[in-house]
Amino acid sequence: MTGKEKDLVLTRVFDAPRERVWKAWTDPRQVAQWWGPAGFTNPRCEVDVRPGGVLRIDMRGPDAPFEGHNVAEFTLNGKGDATHVTWAMYGPASFVSKLMGIFFSMDSMIGKDFEAGLAALKAIAEK
């Protein structure tokens, strides 16, 4: 981190080895299945896991495309046959997001969507 506070941090334990969780996180076909809120699709999903690589997802909502430019940190710590997964995100906020942040926490605004994404990732990894 660059000293910037993370906007959202979630940690869960998956009953799957780190290698299987890694594949679900880095295989574009699998990422397209679990990424994003309910009702959203991911018509373009590109994953480059090399140092300096990027994850590019065109996420489309039911009403319109959604655009975001965030940094996500995804940490996998293997513990026997289980994997501790941490997903942290931070990035620029629009004026409207900053204004909403005065009244609501980032977790209350989008936390449930990230929870659903992690639950879907967990289901894929634990198959």
> pTM of this prediction?
0.70
Residue 1 inside a domain? The answer is no
Is residue 96 assigned to a domain?
Answer: yes
Q: Is residue 3 part of a domain?
A: no
pLDDT value for 67:
65
Q: CA quadruple 10, 13, 15, 19: dihedral positive or negative?
A: positive
Residue of 21, 45, 36, 38 lying closest to 127 (CA atoms): 21
Domain limits at 54? Answer: 8-125
Domain annotation covers residue 21: yes
**What 8-state DSSP symbol labels residue 66?**
-
Q: 2 lies in a domain? A: no
In a domain, 104, yes or no: yes
From first to last of the 127 residues of the chain, give the pLDDT tens digit. Answer: 344 555 778 899 999 999 999 999 899 999 989 888 888 888 888 888 887 777 888 888 887 666 666 777 888 899 889 999 988 877 776 666 677 667 766 666 667 777 888 899 999 999 8
Specify if 30 maps to a domain. Answer: yes
Strand partners, 10: 87
Number of domains in the chain: 1
On whether residue 75 sits in a domain, the answer given is yes
Domain harbouring 78, CATH code: 3.30.530.20
Tell me what pLDDT residue 103 has: 75
Q: Where are the beta strands (DSSP E) in the chain?
A: 8-14, 41-47, 55-60, 71-79, 82-90
pLDDT of residue 75: 87
Model pLDDT, residue 1: 36
CA distance 68 to 91: 9
- Short-list 5, 11, 16, 8, CA closest to 82: 16
